[in-house]
């Protein structure tokens, strides 16, 4: 018998916004925790949390630059010597990922020398007035 899922419907709390999102819980306890978390910190859609990142007629282009480099490993008490710096194996685009992708590309940081820049640009081109 499959477990029941509990769907929580969230509405952006920004005045006048009609954006919706859904969260799914696998237990009643998890559902309660999610509802309590959103009560303490109400949901806001990406338009209202990171408006500068949303493409629009007024903001038609965004560029992000990631640089391949080493990442310092977390210090392990009892294993690492005080002041010792260890690096994670391989290269990373940021502190969390050595692989990134998007529409039409995939890139492993370790495939390139340190300092390589991955520049990703997204641009909206609106249709001309005549074609509307």
**Residues counted in the chain:** 132
The ranges assigned to domains in the chain are 6-51, 55-127
Query: Are 66 and 113 in contact, with CB atoms under 8 Å apart?
Result: no
Task: Kindly report, residue by residue over 55-66, the tens digit of the pLDDT.
Answer: 999 999 999 999
Task: Kindly report, residue by residue over 75-110, the tens digit of the pLDDT.
Answer: 776 777 777 788 888 999 988 899 999 999 999 999
Q: Give the pLDDT mean for 24-43.
A: 94
Cα within 13 Å of Cα(85), Cβ side? 3
Q: What is the pTM (predicted TM-score) of this model?
A: 0.69
């Amino acid at each position: 018998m499959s477990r029941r899922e509990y769907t929580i419907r969230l509405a952006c709390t920004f005045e006048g916004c009609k954006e919706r999102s859904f969260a799914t819980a696998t237990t009643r306890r998890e559902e309660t925790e999610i509802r309590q978390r959103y009560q303490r910190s109400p949901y806001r859609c990406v338009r209202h949390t990171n408006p500068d990142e949303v493409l629009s007629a007024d903001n038609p282009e965004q560029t992000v630059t990631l640089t391949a480099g080493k990442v310092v490993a977390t210090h392990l008490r009892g294993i690492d010597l005080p002041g010792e710096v260890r690096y994670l194996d391989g290269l990373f685009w940021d502190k969390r990922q050595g692989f990134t992708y998007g529409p039409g590309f995939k890139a492993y940081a370790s495939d390139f020398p340190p300092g390589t820049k991955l520049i990703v640009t997204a641009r909206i081109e609106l249709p001309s007035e005549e074609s509307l």
